[in-house]
Amino acid sequence: MDWNFQTAEELAAALRAGDVTSAELTDEAIARIERHDKAINAICVPDFDRARAAARDADQARARGEDRPLLGIPVTVKESYDIAGLPTTWGMPPHRDYVPAEDAVQVSRLRSAGAVVLGKTNVPLGLQDVQSFNEIYGTTNNPWDHARTPGGSSGGSAAALASGFGALSIGSDIGGSLRTPAHFCGVYAHKPSLGLAANRGMVPPPAPALPAESDLAVVGPMARSARDLTLLLDVMAGPDPLTLGVAHDLTLPPARHERLGDFRVLVLDEHPLIATGSAVRAGVNRVADALVEGGARVERHSPLLPDLTEAAVLYTQLLFSGSAARLPVQAYEELRLLAAGLSADDRSLDATRLRGMVFSHRDWVEANGRRELHRHGWRQLFAEFDAVVCPITPTAAFPHDHNPDLLGRRLDIDGVEYPYLDQLVWAGLATMPGLPATAVPAGRSPEGLPVGVQLIGPMFEDRTPLRLAELLEQEIGGFQAPK
């Protein structure tokens, strides 16, 4: 039997039943990677010897009667997580030889749950792109069309899952970095509520792995089924023991509903700042139709929805103020001069990005205060709705574009060009207020490329969009392997 495209849940059942061993699963996964990854380039740092040893240990543990959530299941890890003995570079050439001495907290949790780590997956330079390429490890290709990107920054992880290289992966998300690759590669991902999963050891080299609270970024699970996302999130969720001094334990509230017909859903497919491509709109509508057929209450408009333009501006300000905070002084001063030269009437997202890069602390505090107003607005919305369905990006996977000037790149949306970074506005809708969002497959584009949508849920009610994802998978199908 070919185990490579089985879900983690199916593999766990087979391991418990004695139908297969972890050693066999691991050898089969490694053989598949060695056979097919030359064309994809998803696994940038293989760790096969230690994976085989971990698989043998898992089989011995099972023989002793042990059982853990991921015992013996092959997985991959985004390159940006520290794994003791392997390089952590974030794709940055000056740090190609940086090797941490300790595992990131989430890698430790994977190992404690019994997972077998096959290796690390590719990322863009500094994790700052919607693609996955860098000078150290090269370019990762989309398994559906090698001329296109798998997305970023967790693009290697999504490409690995779509290619059958391991059953699960862990990634991170600040600008859709879990959700966009899932959408582009036809797999599942979940951006947890802000602060739900500890992120220590997911830090750019050579910074020390210290506990730190992010105002936007999260770490989260990727998989080939919705139920697998919940399985992995349960392993990942919980505070950092260094900050709270408590055991890894966090009880999330149950999903609001178990039946599709009980859900109240707001469906969005238009944004005031960017067009929605026809293929993505069709994916949103396919999900909306399935919800209606399943008896859910579906609305297309609500006065409770926080203003989408202001949400995009706030997200852009917070994102770029953070990304530019550690720039060298000279580069920062050059940006300040450029920002000072902007017309006061220029309200484009390009201008917002530039102004955000030179935010003062006073500016940031003011923007953060407006974020709290948006969070309050979302609380009011989620008193009337259980989830929001909307795009992740405006298009399916696009051709590789390695123009080093991100601000100079353009994104083609049904024949009309838009600034490349404007595509982040949909991902930012959940990121800015810190809401959970689950990326699910929703069909194919006319070219046969995967199209996904995101299900945004209430803060710390991650199980609600995850359950909705399971129910939609039953209605419209889920992952399909690329031909």
Residues involved in catalysis: 78, 153, 177
- 310 φ, ψ (degrees, to nearest 5): -65, -35
- DSSP 8-class letter at 399: B
Looking at residue 42, its amino acid is A
Beta bridge partners of 116: 74
| CA nearest neighbour of 194 among 419, 378, 339 | 378
Report the distance separating Cα 383 and Cα 139, nearest Å.
44
Which residues does 156 contact at the CB level (< 8 Å), separation at least 6?
A: 41, 42, 43, 44, 76, 78, 79, 120, 121, 122, 123, 132, 140, 150
Report the distance separating Cα 423 and Cα 340, nearest Å.
25
Report the distance separating Cα 142 and Cα 133, nearest Å.
12
Report the distance separating Cα 79 and Cα 27, nearest Å.
22
Per-residue exposure over 405-444, b if at least 16 CB sit within 10 Å of its own CB, e if not: eeeebebebeeeebbbbbbbbbbbbbbbbbbbbbbbbbbb
Beta bridge partners of 444: 450
Tokens of 176: 């859709």
Tell me which residue has tokens 């997200």.
315
- DSSP 8-class letter at 450: E
